[in-house]
Structure 1
Amino acid sequence: MAYLDENFLLHSPTALRLFHEVAKDQPIIDYHCHLSPRQIATNHRWEDISDIWLGGDHYKWRLMRANGIDEGLITGDSTPREKFQAWAETVPYTLRNPIHHWTHIELQRYFGIDLLLTPDTADEIWERTNAKLAEKDFSTHGLLKKFDVRVVGTTDDPADPLDDHETIAASDLKTWVVPTFRPDKALLVDRPDLLKPWLEKLEGASDMTIVHLSDLLAALQKRHDDFHAAGGRLSDHGLDRLPGLHCTDEEAGVIFNRARAGKPASAEEKEKFSFYLMVFFGQLDAAKGWTKQLHLGAFRNINSQMAGKLGPDTGYDTIGDTRQGESLVMYLDALASSGSLPKMVLYNLNPRDNYLFACLTGAFQDGTFAGKIQFGSGWWFLDQKNGMELQLDALSATGLLSRFVGMLTDSRSFLSFPRHEYFRRILCNLIGSEADRGELPDDFQALSKLVGDICFGNAKRHFGFDV
């Protein structure tokens, strides 16, 4: 059997039909990613394959380190060709890691190359990929068009300017590129050294002076309004877990004033203030019909020596084992009790929590919107075949798979769009194989609707994207 052929991951007749007739050509709504708005605004082009393929990709960096590659060939001052060779030397050792799949799918879909990347093929692949990169349409705009990406949801701090989004909106790019509101730095009352410079940036972005808590809330609401005007319809938070201590207006004001004056909040004060602001953010989202995303459960930058040298998002993170349920329930209940529970997507990073998250969503559906509270797709260390299947099974067993908003890249790379194809193949194989075993009805029309909705239609409706 050929590796990565047109029927890759499809193991039954109905699975083949569902993918090739329904899923394959569906447009993409990449509603959560970390693509650079600046690179889209400038229709960025890349110098070489190392620039686009290895720059910032901590998934690959982790595997190179595990393969004994010196850091100088990963994030150091080595030449792009030397770094590419180091990656070529690593790839043959990545068998059974999803990156072996992704690497070669990307070579096929972007560059038309069917060779396996090895030290022996590295010269040819270096030359052929770089020749492709030099073509006119190999730019950010060209790739968004090539993969029929209808929406890109970037991840943006409320203190960031939206100039790049304005430039994109005024361009002839057909893809709708919208900002996602991620205000996690507002919770840093335990780190005044980080909070104070962020507040100064927020003052500039909002054109407001922030002295008291009421000023902070007003500035955040102003930026939330600005994001909405720029097309934003989602917010996002990346937290170890939800805070779980209630906080009054008076307590929150005192904590903020002390942090503003340079006094770090205690652990209990940080938890209270964070809960207070998270409720406020939920109210903002509910008022505008937005969807709130909660990415929960990562232990970040745990190798303090290396994270200190290279900074965050360099591959020194892992799955966390923090208890999630109690504080998450408290948070959702606080919003529901006040009539301000927004649409949500909940992502967990520890697979032990799959059924906790999937089942919990059902307790907060309120009949106002189909699939209002979502159990999100396999995230980060779980966005691979086994992790996706586990997520799909838990969601199917406890809720409505038919209302699922589907896949996203959560990536910083413009070479990651085939992850949607990867997910769609896994989805079609799951549905098609069960149908062929008699575990689902032999009704291709119904199965086609299920697959089409998960690939595109549900996200379009859920997030309100008119594309």
Structure 2
Amino acid sequence: MTFIKSKTFITDNFLLQTEIAETLYHTYAKDLPIIDYHNHLSARKIAENEPVRNITEVWLDGDHYKWRGMRANGVEEKYITGTATLEERFNKWAETVPYTVRNPLFHWTQLELKRYFNVDDILQSSTAKAIYKKANTVLENKTPAQLLEDMKVEVVCTTDDPTDNLKYHKQIKEKGNFYTKVLPTFRADELFFINKKEFSNYIQKLGVSANLEINTLANFLKAIDKRIHFFNTNGCRLSDFGIGAALRMVDYTLEGVSLIFDKKLKENKLTINEIDEYRSFLFVYLGKKYHEYNWVQQYHLGPIRNNNTLLLDQVGTDAGVDSIGDYPMAEFMSKLFNTLNSTNQLAKAICYNLNPSQNEVFATMMGNFQSSDCPGKMQWGSGWWFLDQKDGMEKQLNTLSNMGLLSRFVGMLTDSRSFLSFPRHEYFRRVLCNLIANDVVNGLVPNDMEFLGKMISDICYQNAVNYFNFEN
């Protein structure tokens, strides 16, 4: 059955509502390379350099956006994360797509089909078989590295645990024949989970990776130092943090934290305040190390995770049952950044909020700690997760314009596990160009195409080049 008859939905001027928008996009944004400074791509798959072969594996596996859409459409879990065949799962997604109209999934789906497979037909049950066959024919000869090159992705920064041996990042660099530079990111979440029973096992794992027995706080910090140095040697220029929880900065002493750490190693239960003391200390300690190495620190703040425990038990973590939380964040950011800034050890930082009600909170907080170290040192990050769609992007761009300097913004990222997600940069660029063009039409900014074009090129590409120091 055909629900939607229109073809060529993704035209050259998709989302561009005026001639000025068309000029800004096609002249200044369209052909720029991509720097994707935060994603969850597999370095192993890039290093192995094998053809992708099947669209379901590269497009649906791990994509909790699509999983949530299918669940909302009443699709059985076996067709989402379960035992159904690859084609059956693809068909169920195709069946769902017409029902995603006005959800960003509809735009992303058609944009990705157009850019990677030159498909104009709307994906739905009646077109699924032909699109599945065409996409797999293309993917038979496409490796992940080639898919990245096709989208002109110059840099991807993966998300990596401190214990990772970075084996595949090394292989990619040693091969030296990839268009895309693949760099690790130091994702420190597990270091903070002192409240979990698995923490002691993780400490042992960290010790093995650092070739150091961790039996004291001092050795724990030595292990962290060694891992940060190791990551830096292998091209890392960013850290990340993304625990979904209420966060507090409290007073602590080194002696007190040392006793708390010892208490945990003895498998004794910690109080809430002891956990906060430990975390507060670690936030500051890591922040100073990031400054020492001239890294950019990232903070993804605001999700409430694993809400549906029944599905979590069935599927595992990252099951697609996370949502927007309502944690207070201003005091945490203020105390952390002020502590680091007071000793001139505040590294560049990007903070992302998941709760849109905190847009102005985040935008104004980052403005408190700007300095002459570099333009836009403290960044309020792009619309993240549930907010990385047209409405969320426009709200983020407008609030940033009102509270800071849009012209110094480092732009978009995918935050994706899919090698087919990079048209999201195009989506952002079109939204940006249309927004600026509307300001011109409404007489809010000068009709100076060269000036505005330079601003757009900076936001889409050049600001990121200047900000991240990938060449160092």
Q: Structure 1 length normalisation: TM-score?
A: 0.97
CA distance in 2, matches of 1:5, 1:62: 27
Contact between 1:234 and 1:293, CA under 8 Å: does it hold in 2?
A: yes
Q: Does 1:246 align with 2:220?
A: no
Give the structure 1 partner of residue 460 of structure 2.
455
After the TM superposition, which residues 366-445 of structure 1 pair with which residues of structure 2 at under 5 Å, given as runs? 366-445=371-450
CA displacement at 1:321 relative to structure 2: 0.6
Deviates more, 1:93-102 or 1:265-274: 265-274
Corresponding position of 1:105: 111
Give 2:16's aligned residue: 10
Number of the residue aligned with 1:326: 331
Match of 2:195 in 1: 190
Deviation at 1:288, TM superposition (A): 1.2
Q: Which residue of 1 aligns with 2:155?
A: 151
**Pairwise CA distance, 1:246:** 2.1
For 1:69, the equivalent position in structure 2 comes to 75
CA contact 1:181–1:235 (8 Å) conserved in 2: yes
Task: Write the distance in 1 (CA, Å) between the matches of 2:51 and 2:332.
Answer: 44
- Counterpart contact for 1:160–1:201, Cα < 8 Å: no
Residues 406, 459 of structure 1: 8 Å contact kept: yes
What residue in structure 1 maps to residue 348 of structure 2?
Answer: 343
What CA distance in whole angstroms lies between the structure 2 residues aligned with 1:134 and 1:26? 27
Question: Structure 2 counterpart of 1:11, which letter?
Answer: Q
* Distance in 2 separating the partners of 1:148 and 1:282: 32
What RMSD over aligned residues (CA atoms) do the two structures have, in Å? 1.2
Query: CA separation of 1:188/1:264 partners in 2, compared to 1, >3 Å: closer, same or farther?
Result: farther
1:28 aligns with 34
User: How far did 1:465 drift?
Assistant: 2.4
User: 2-side partners of 1:131 and 1:158: how far apart?
Assistant: 38
Conserved 8 A contact 1:12-1:429: yes
Q: Distance in 2 between matches of 1:263 and 1:173?
A: 49
Separation in 1 of the partners of 2:111 and 2:91?
19
1:284 maps to what in 2?
Answer: 289
Partner Cα separation in structure 2 for residue 47 and residue 448 of structure 1: 39
Give how far 1:289 is off.
1.0
**Letter matched to residue 255 of structure 2:** E
Per-residue CA deviation, residues 249-282 of structure 1 (Å, 9 max, x unaligned), is 0111111111112123222111111111011110
C-alpha distance in structure 2 between counterparts of 1:210 and 1:268, whole Å: 23
Q: What's the counterpart of residue 3 of structure 2?
A: none
Question: What is the match of residue 224 of structure 1?
Answer: 228
1:114 aligns with 2:123: no
On the 8 A contact 1:460/1:466 being kept in 2, the answer is: no
Measured in 1, the distance between the counterparts of 2:465 and 2:165 equals: 26
CA distance in 1, matches of 2:178, 2:68: 35
User: In 2, distance between residues paired with 1:49 and 1:150?
Assistant: 23
- Equivalences for residues 160-239 of structure 1 within 5 A: 160-171=164-175, 172-191=177-196, 193-239=197-243
Is 1:255 the counterpart of 2:281? The answer is no
Offset, 1:242: 3.5
Cα distance, 1:16 vs. partner?
0.6
Q: CA deviation at 1:466?
A: 3.4
Q: Structure 2: any 5+ residue segments left out of the alignment?
A: 1-5
Checking the alignment, whether the CA contact within 8 Å between 1:189 and 1:264 is kept in structure 2 is: no
Secondary structure (helix, strand or coil) at the match of 2:352 reads: strand
1:41 aligns with 2:32: no
Runs of 4+ in 1 over 4 A off after TM superposition: none
Alignment of 1:86-97 (within 5 A): 86-97=92-103
Deviations 1:67-120 (A, max 9, x none): 000001111111111111111111110000001001111110001111101111
By how many angstroms is 1:397 displaced? 0.3
User: Are 1:160 and 1:202, in contact at CA under 8 Å, matched by a contact in 2?
Assistant: no
- The amino acid across from 2:380 in the alignment is F
Shift of 1:455: 0.5
Provide the rounded CA distance (Å) in 1 between the counterparts of 2:398 and 2:50. 39
Asked whether the 8 Å contact 2:235–2:470 carries over to 1, the reply is no
Partner of 1:269 in structure 2?
Answer: 274
In 2, the alpha carbon distance for the partners of 1:376 and 1:241 equals 19
Structure 1 residue identity aligned to 2:102: R
Q: Distance in 1 between matches of 2:192 and 2:269?
A: 12
Please state whether the residue corresponding to 2:184 is helix, strand or coil.
strand
- How far does residue 174 in structure 1 lie from its aligned partner after superposition? 2.6
For the residues of structure 2 that align with 1:242 and 1:393, how far apart are their CA atoms? Answer: 27
**Structure 1 gap segments, 5+ residues each:** none
Partner letter of residue 456 of structure 1? Answer: Y
The offset of 1:45, in angstroms, is: 2.6
> Separation in 2 of the partners of 1:396 and 1:359?
11
**8 A contact 2:350–2:379 mirrored in 1:** yes
Hey, what's the Cα distance between the residues in 2 that align with 1:426 and 1:14? 13
8 Å Cα contact 1:242/1:331 also seen in 2: no
SS where residue 152 of structure 1 aligns? Answer: strand
Could you tell me whether the CA contact under 8 Å between 2:10 and 2:114 is conserved in 1? no
Paired amino acid for 2:120: D
The AA in structure 1 aligned to 2:43 is P
Q: Secondary structure at the match of 1:269?
A: helix
User: Distance between the aligned counterparts of 2:68 and 2:298, measured in 1?
Assistant: 26
Amino acid at match of 2:300: H
Distance in 1 of aligned mates of 2:336 and 2:273: 16
* 1:126 pairs with 2:126: no
Looking at structure 2, the residues matched to 140 and 362 of structure 1 have their Cα atoms a distance apart, in angstroms, of 38
TM superposition shift of 1:144: 1.5
Distance in 2, matches of 1:157 and 1:44, equals 24
| Cα separation, 2, equivalents of 1:200 and 1:159 | 10
**SS of residue matched to 2:241:** strand
- 1:446-466 CA distance string (max 9 Å, x none): 101100000000001110123
Match for 1:431: what amino acid? I
How many pairs does the alignment contain?
464
SS in 2 for 1:216: helix
Q: Deviations over 1:104-153 (max 9, x none)?
A: 11110001111101111111111111111112xx1111012111111110
